[in-house]
């Protein structure tokens, strides 16, 4: 089921253009590398690590194929580098981002620092990135 959901969303973000797995959570379109994370149920939180930041795009799938966010890696890097970013207790190189799918908000740093995810909800890769 997990692979089918990922495949469905990858087809959507890439306008149906071909993609392939290149190991782990990374998927290659002709012109872009997408890092994919999928959580089956709430609460939704995603770990961002240095490997995440090597992709051009970050895809967070929240339970079902219709609830996903496609973010440019520049936005994810800003969350990762934010002063007060939430650091994983066991892995200091990982930053934790909590996603509230009811309000489409991602909280990533002390003081409730967050971003509005509505602009990334059910996003698609630009034609030049497919």
Q: What residue spans define the domains of the chain?
A: 2-129
Output the pLDDT for position 36.
98
Q: pTM to 2 decimals? A: 0.96
Per-residue pLDDT of the chain (130 residues; tens, 9 = 90+): 689 999 999 999 999 899 999 999 999 999 999 999 999 999 999 999 999 999 999 999 999 999 999 999 999 999 999 999 999 999 999 999 999 999 999 999 999 999 999 999 999 999 887 7
Burial 60-95 (b: 16+ CB within 10 A, else e): bbbeebebbbbbbbebbeebbeeeebbeeeeeeebb
In the β-sheet with 68-72, what is the strand arrangement from edge to edge?
20-21, 26-28, 33-39, 57-62, 68-72
Give the pLDDT confidence score for residue 7 in this predicted structure.
96
Q: Does domain 2-129 have CATH number 1.10.3470?
A: no
């Amino acid at each position: 089921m997990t692979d089918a959901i990922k495949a469905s969303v990858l087809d959507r973000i890439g306008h149906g253009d071909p993609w392939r797995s290149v190991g782990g959570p990374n998927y290659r379109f002709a012109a872009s590398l997408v890092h994919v994370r999928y959580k089956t149920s709430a609460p939704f939180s995603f770990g961002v690590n240095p490997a995440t930041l090597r992709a051009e795009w970050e895809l967070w799938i929240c339970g079902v194929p219709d609830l996903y966010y496609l973010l440019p890696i520049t936005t994810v890097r800003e969350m990762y580098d934010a002063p007060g970013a939430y650091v994983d207790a066991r892995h200091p190189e990982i930053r934790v981002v909590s996603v509230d799918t009811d309000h489409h908000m991602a909280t990533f740093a002390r003081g409730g620092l967050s971003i509005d995810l509505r602009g990334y909800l059910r996003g698609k890769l630009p034609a030049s990135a497919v």
